[in-house]
C-alpha cells in the first residue's frame, strides 16, 4: 500500500529543534505516514534527535535535495563532481541515521535555471557518480529517486522518458525515477501515459497542483494521475508538495519563483491534501475492481 507523505515546507522553512518538533507532530496529526525533510544541508538535521521525534510520532521520513552550482555532478568538472559526490554521500549517511527509505530530488545536476543544454559527457559523468553513490545507498537500504523537473530547474531530466534512460545508464537497481505532477503538467505531452510508461522504474511520486497550491484547485487531471499510479501497480510513497512564501525563505523562494501565496494556513492545506489524496487513491483502486461476469450473478 502506498504511504502518504507531506513535504516539511508546508509547516516550516528550517529545521531548528522547535521547527522539527512542530513539523513532525503536525504531519502525524494530520494523518500522514511520512514527512519529507528538505536536506539542502543535511548536516543541520540532527539525526539522533529527529529520529527520536519521528519514532515518538509514529511516522517515517524521506529526504530531498537538489545539488547546486558548486556540487554539479553533470558539469563534467572533476572538482565539482568530487564535491557533489561528497555531498550526496554525506546526505546518505544522515538518511541512514534517520532511517529514511528514500533520498530524492535533483540529485543528478544542480537545482537551478541553466542557460545551456547539458553535454553528453556531463550526463555520462553524472551517471558514473550516481552509480558509485548508489552502492553506498544500497548498503543502507536507501532508494535514490531522480526527480524529473521542469526546464527552469534543471537541464538534464525534464521528462519521464529521459529519467528512465538515465537510470538505465546508471545501471543500479536502487536508482529509480521520481515523478512530480506539477512538473509533468509543464513538460509531458501526456502525464498519464508518462506514468504508465515509467512503470516499475517509478520509486517516488510528488502530488501537487499547477500553481503549487491546494490540490484539486488547479488545472491538473488529478483523478487521471491517481488512476495511472494505481493502474501501473505503483506501491511507493505519494507525497504532497506545496510552497508558500508565508513559510519558505531564500534561497528556495527565489529558485522556485514563489511570488504570490496560494495559501496562508498550512494546517488547513495539509488536512485537505490528506483527505483529497486518500479519496483519490481509494477511487482509483475501485476502478480496478473487476465486474462479476453475468453468468456468476445467478441472475
Question: Rounded CA gap, 8 and 247, in Å?
Answer: 10
Window 229-268: residues binding Mn ion (CB under 5 A): 241
> How many helices (H) and strands (E) would you count in the chain?
10, 8
Find cell 522547535 and name the residue: 18
Options 30-38, 193-201, 204-212, 228-236: segment touching Mn ion (CB under 5 A)? 204-212
Q: Which helix (H) or strand (E) holds 205?
A: strand 202-207
Residues 270, 10: contact at Cβ < 8 Å?
A: yes
Closer by beta carbon to Mn ion, 185 or else 206: 206
Closest distance to Mn ion from the beta carbon of 52 (Å):
28
Residues recorded for the chain: 299
Closer by beta carbon to Mn ion, 72 or else 180: 180
Find cell 543535511 and name the residue: 42
3-state secondary structure of 160: helix
Is 85 considered catalytic here? no
Closer by beta carbon to Mn ion, 57 or else 155: 155
Question: Rounded CA gap, 168 and 44, in Å?
Answer: 33
Question: Rounded CA gap, 248 and 36, in Å?
Answer: 15
Catalytic residue among 36, 147, 153, 188: 147
Closer by beta carbon to Mn ion, 47 or else 109: 109
Window 119-178: residues binding Mn ion (CB under 5 A): none
- Residue 209 in the binding site for Mn ion (CB under 5 A): no
Closer by beta carbon to Mn ion, 68 or else 180: 180
Enumerate the β-bridge partners of residue 175: 144
Find cell 541553466 and name the residue: 114
- Residue 206 in the binding site for Mn ion (CB under 5 A): yes
Please work out, in degrees rounded to the nearest 5, the angle formed at the alpha carbon of residue 158 by the alpha carbons of 157 and 163.
45
Closest distance to Mn ion from the beta carbon of 180 (Å):
4
- Residue 180 in the binding site for Mn ion (CB under 5 A): yes
- Residue 102 in the binding site for Mn ion (CB under 5 A): no
Closest distance to Mn ion from the beta carbon of 74 (Å):
18
- Residue 185 in the binding site for Mn ion (CB under 5 A): no
Annotated catalytic residues are 147, 241
What is the contact surface with Mn ion in residues (CB under 5 A)? 180, 206, 241
Amino acid at each position: 500500500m502506498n504511504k502518504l507523505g507531506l513535504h516539511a515546507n508546508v509547516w516550516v522553512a528550517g529545521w531548528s529543534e522547535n521547527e522539527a518538533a512542530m513539523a513532525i507532530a503536525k504531519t502525524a496529526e494530520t494523518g500522514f505516514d511520512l514527512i519529507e525533510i528538505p536536506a539542502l544541508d543535511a548536516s543541520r538535521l540532527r539525526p539522533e534527535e529527529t529520529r527520536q521525534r519521528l519514532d515518538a510520532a509514529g511516522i517515517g521520513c524521506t529526504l530531498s535535495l537538489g545539488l547546486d552550482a558548486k556540487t554539479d555532478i553533470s558539469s563534467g568538472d572533476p572538482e565539482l563532481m568530487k564535491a557533489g559526490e561528497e555531498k550526496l554521500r554525506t546526505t546518505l549517511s544522515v538518511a541512514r541515521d534517520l532511517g529514511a527509505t528514500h533520498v530524492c530530488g535533483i540529485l543528478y545536476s544542480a537545482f537551478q535555471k541553466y542557460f545551456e543544454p547539458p553535454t553528453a559527457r556531463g550526463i555520462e559523468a553524472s551517471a558514473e557518480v550516481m552509480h558509485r553513490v548508489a552502492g553506498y545507498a544500497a548498503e543502507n537500504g536507501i532508494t535514490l529517486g531522480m526527480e524529473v523537473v521542469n526546464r527552469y530547474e534543471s537541464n538534464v531530466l525534464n521528462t519521464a522518458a529521459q529519467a528512465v534512460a538515465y537510470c538505465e545508464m546508471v545501471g543500479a537497481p536502487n536508482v529509480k525515477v521520481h515523478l512530480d505532477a506539477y512538473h509533468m503538467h509543464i513538460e509531458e505531452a501526456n502525464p498519464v501515459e508518462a506514468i504508465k510508461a515509467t512503470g516499475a522504474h517509478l520509486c517516488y511520486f510528488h502530488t501537487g497542483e499547477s500553481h503549487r497550491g491546494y490540490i484539486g484547485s488547479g488545472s491538473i487531471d488529478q483523478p487521471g494521475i491517481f488512476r495511472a499510479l494505481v493502474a501501473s501497480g505503483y506501491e511507493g510513497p505519494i507525497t504532497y508538495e506545496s510552497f508558500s512564501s508565508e513559510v519558505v525563505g531564500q534561497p528556495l523562494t527565489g529558485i522556485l519563483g514563489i511570488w504570490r501565496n496560494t495559501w496562508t494556513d498550512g494546517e488547513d492545506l495539509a488536512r485537505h491534501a490528506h483527505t483529497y489524496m486518500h479519496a483519490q487513491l481509494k477511487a482509483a483502486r475501485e476502478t480496478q475492481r473487476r465486474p462479476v461476469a453475468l453468468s456468476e450473478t445467478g441472475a
